[in-house]
Amino acid sequence: MVSFTFAIASDLHIAVPETVWEHPQRFHLVEFSIPVFEAVLADLSTLSLDCLLIPGDLTQHGELANHQWLAHRLQQLPYPVYVIPGNHDVLNPAQWSDFATIYAPFGLQHSRPEWLYYAVDVTPEIRLIALNSNQYDDHGGVYGAVDDNQLAWLERTLQQPAPPLTLVMIHHCVLEHFPGHQVGFGHRYLLHNGSRLCKLLRNYGVQVIFSGHLHVQDAARCDRTGVYDIGTGSLVSYPHPYRLCHYDGRHLEMTTRHITAVPECPNLTEYAKEWMGDHSLPFVLKMLSRALPDVDLSPWYPQLRYFWATIAAGDADFQFPEVPEQVRIYLESFGDRPPADNQLTLSLWN
């Protein structure tokens, strides 16, 4: 009988103290990245884990000291760890071979240094395919896409004999996780060729993708292919979630845990929620103004203070009975639709 237990922790954004970027615009609580990750590891040490998945943004911003700290810490763990790079980890292609070397013990030994993607049979029943979604534009910016060579490799890999269940891990979101994700600021969080990837995966019976990047705890299902994109929130953002997963050969059951306090911040949950309230309102207003250009949203700023924090936590249930109907309908459309985000069970057989 299959019994496979694993955890997902995403967007660790590890920053050793001397590297913490002190700037008023900083959105993430990287100063707590190490104690929060240590709290996760302490919790995981009480479980019998088969592996830990980390779908990218391992470091604050690709600093060598932070990569080295994390690789050293992962080396001490008693279970296998599999990582892929996020947009904050490899800022240009010249850094790819260093990333492959540093994280060779954590899946990258199965990749060529110039690829940063791999497939590995983690047990006789489970294959993990880890994709590299980092692409670079002409201005040095990073965007999310799976390039043609990687897609061709993926199809060849999917055609080979493999364990019965394949799980996919990638940094960028493959499916939309909130209304209007495709436009405005949300666009840079989405894989540019997500529908092509979903179609290819579905053709070979792959049903589940694990992503990160958006710092939002959200599960989405593609209407056309039935493929799930299970996004895990960030350990440096409210509400500091991570997932525990168990596969019994037919069902994948996922639960969510949170780090609510660390010695450096005993009221972490409240502190992080207020921090997100302080820092998210400008982009929330920008996002809402795009859809409601003629509406003065200022009377509802207090209600919108925790709008993004509520989305980030997953399973949002928005009620805005006091606002005009046009605005209310739009705001409430950000409430969650099935599948559930934090506690969910997927039936994985064809």
The two three-digit tokens of residue 273, written as one number: 């929620």
Residue 57 in contact with Fe ion, rule: CB under 5 A: yes
Residues numbered 75-114 forming contacts with Fe ion, rule: CB under 5 A: 86-87
Smallest distance from the beta carbon of 142 to Fe ion, in angstroms? 8
Residues numbered 188-247 forming contacts with Fe ion, rule: CB under 5 A: 213
Residues numbered 10-29 forming contacts with Fe ion, rule: CB under 5 A: 11
Sign of CA dihedral 345, 74, 102, 124: negative
- Which of these segments, 7-15, 90-98, 238-246, 257-265, binds Fe ion (CB under 5 A)? 7-15
Smallest distance from the beta carbon of 320 to Fe ion, in angstroms? 29
Smallest distance from the beta carbon of 81 to Fe ion, in angstroms? 18
Three-state SS string over the chain comes to CCCEEEEECECCCECCHHHCCCCCCCCCCHHHHHHHHHHHHHHHCCCCCCEEEECCCCECCCCHHHHHHHHHHHHCCCCCEEECCCCCCCCCHHHHHHHHHHCHHHCHHHCCCCCCCEEEECCCCEEEEECCCEEECCCCCEEECCCHHHHHHHHHHHHCCCCCEEEEECCCECCCCCCCCCCHHHHHHECCCHHHHHHHHHHCCCCEEEECCCCCCEEEECCCCCCEEEECCECCCCCCEEEEEEECCCEEEEEEEECCCECCECCHHHHHHHHHHHHHHHHHHHHHHHHCCCCCCHHHHHHHCCHHHHHHHCCCCCCCCCCCHHHHHHHHCCCCCCCCCCCEEEECCC
- Which of these segments, 15-23, 49-57, 103-111, 338-346, binds Fe ion (CB under 5 A)? 49-57
Q: How many residues bind Fe ion (CB under 5 A)?
A: 5
Q: Which is nearer to Fe ion, 134 or 225 (CB)?
A: 134
Smallest distance from the beta carbon of 114 to Fe ion, in angstroms? 21
Smallest distance from the beta carbon of 137 to Fe ion, in angstroms? 15
Q: Which is nearer to Fe ion, 215 or 258 (CB)?
A: 215
Smallest distance from the beta carbon of 237 to Fe ion, in angstroms? 8
Burial of 298 (0-12, 13-18, 19+ CB in 10 A): exposed
Smallest distance from the beta carbon of 121 to Fe ion, in angstroms? 27
Q: Which is nearer to Fe ion, 207 or 280 (CB)?
A: 280
Q: Which is nearer to Fe ion, 86 or 277 (CB)?
A: 86
Q: Which is nearer to Fe ion, 67 or 213 (CB)?
A: 213
Q: Which is nearer to Fe ion, 139 or 224 (CB)?
A: 139
Q: Which is nearer to Fe ion, 33 or 166 (CB)?
A: 33
Smallest distance from the beta carbon of 9 to Fe ion, in angstroms? 12
- Which of these segments, 31-39, 41-49, 54-62, 173-181, binds Fe ion (CB under 5 A)? 54-62
Q: Which residue is nearest to Fe ion (CB)?
A: 57
Residues that bind Fe ion (CB under 5 A): 11, 57, 86-87, 213
